[in-house]
Structure 1
Amino acid sequence: MSLPNKRRRATIANLVALLGMPTVTFAHPHIFVDAKFEAIAAPDGSLQELRDTWQFDEVFSSSVLLDFDKNRNNVLDPAEVAAVAKTVRESLAQYNYYTNVTINGKALAFAKPDVLHGTYENGSLILSFAQKPMAKTPLKGLIVFGVYDPTLYTALDFASDADLKISGEGFNRCSRKVVRPDSKEILAENKAMLTTMFFNDPKGTDYSQVVATRLEVRC
């Protein structure tokens, strides 16, 4: 194997590792993302698709630049960003792209995004993608949308409640509420239980779900 090919495999492995490290080793975030989310309803009152946009912090973005900037011009050109997006698309499939949706407590399954779109702007990597439900999903009852990393390695932050949106005629009869749990209170109230979780669940813990910002829609 040539040196360029060896380096290529190493950098891809590095990106995959950065996006999905196990909770047991890391109990606090190492990657920070400014996130935006939109749920879109079809006119018939069913869930049509979900749209996510993630802007990565400059430290992580610079590490990606170091690994994927083939022509060494200190930016990620469209082809280089496409290579990053393809790697992320494959590596985050096992985490459902950090997307968790329930209707009346029942989890929904989503198809893998057809493609991740990416840009590199002002030193930050930005990725966006859409997901469609695997089956027709009528919007009835309580729908909870959560976008978070179950391993706690990546922190996805929604700067304002407006960054969690619903749109489409099917949502016209629904109410919307953004919930931001107080992580300090939850830690204080569940300290003993969380210690057990962290050391016995290598695939992630319920704690990530409990403290995650979520969008609740009632139809």
Structure 2
Amino acid sequence: MPRLNYFFPLLLAVFIILFPPTGIPHPHVFISQRTGFVFDDKGLAGFRVNWAFDEMFSVMISEDFDSDHNQALDANEVAVIKEKAFGYIAPYNYYIHVRIDGKPFEVKFIKSFNAWLDNGTVCYEFFIPCHVVAVDTPKQVVLSPYDPEYYSDIYFPDKTPLNLENAEAFSIETQTARDQSTLIYYDTVNPMAIFLSFKRK
């Protein structure tokens, strides 16, 4: 009998993963993210986030917001996209979850939003200010992009998932891996994360 106490929860977890019940969210939008870690003379200044969307979402955005159907997005069309197809994720940290030395950093606003079409693929770019002063001992930054409701799946491309800007004055180490401290989708998925540490040279 004690073995059954372990067997049934395991069987239930496997069943949920393989056959999600109706109504449980699962990804409908797929986003490839590249992240720029931007530095200034004091330390980290923020994150430049670039998203490239899947084909289906790209077609939907093009049909809804490329009002003149010229396969290009002008300033007015970008403004509408920002309001109607981006701004609604503000309460979710814009899907960018950050910890600095283990403490959560709230993404209260973004800057320099842009959107464009690249051979039919919809791309977004935006900047998240996040100022962390460098010192002689390493500062630890963890950036994990995810939709907590898991309607969107955000992943890193195999090549160049991140880049460093104006980072010459600092010693920097980076790693991309699953964030084992975070679980989403009914505690079944560890989202990807970038682990970065930096200090003054």
Give the TM-score normalised by structure 1: 0.67
Please state if 1:114 is matched with 2:111. Answer: yes
Shift of 1:161: 5.6
Tell me which amino acid in the other structure corresponds to 2:73.
D
Provide the aligned length of Structure 1 versus Structure 2. 172
Q: Which has the higher helix share?
A: 1
Tell me which amino acid in the other structure corresponds to 1:94.
P
* Aligned partners of 1:35 and 1:163 also within 8 Å: yes
Q: Which residue of 2 aligns with 1:143?
A: 141
Tell me which amino acid in the other structure corresponds to 1:33.
I
Instruction: Give secondary structure in 1 for the equivalent of 2:85.
Output: helix
Please state if 1:88 is matched with 2:85. Answer: yes
* Aligned partners of 1:29 and 1:154 also within 8 Å: yes
Tell me which amino acid in the other structure corresponds to 1:82.
A
Instruction: Give secondary structure in 2 for the equivalent of 1:59.
Output: helix
Alpha-carbon distance change, 105 to 95 in structure 1, aligned in 2, over 3 angstroms: same
**In 2, Cα distance between equivalents of 1:218 and 1:171:** 14
Alignment RMSD: 2.9
**In 2, Cα distance between equivalents of 1:178 and 1:97:** 20
Select the residue among 135, 150, 157 that pairs with 2:155.
157
Select the residue among 56, 63, 76 that pairs with 1:59.
56
Shift of 1:75: 2.8
Instruction: Give secondary structure in 2 for the equivalent of 1:62.
Output: helix
Extract unaligned runs of 5+ from structure 1: 1-23, 199-205
Q: Which residue of 2 aligns with 1:77?
A: 73
Alignment of 1:179-190 (within 5 A): 179-180=177-178
**In 2, Cα distance between equivalents of 1:160 and 1:63:** 26
Shift of 1:26: 4.0
Alpha-carbon distance change, 56 to 114 in structure 1, aligned in 2, over 3 angstroms: same
**In 1, Cα distance between equivalents of 2:194 and 2:48:** 14
Instruction: Give secondary structure in 1 for the equivalent of 2:106.
Output: coil
Q: Which has the higher strand share?
A: 2
**In 2, Cα distance between equivalents of 1:37 and 1:207:** 25
Q: Which residue of 2 aligns with 1:215?
A: 194
Identity level (%): 24
Extract unaligned runs of 5+ from structure 2: 1-21
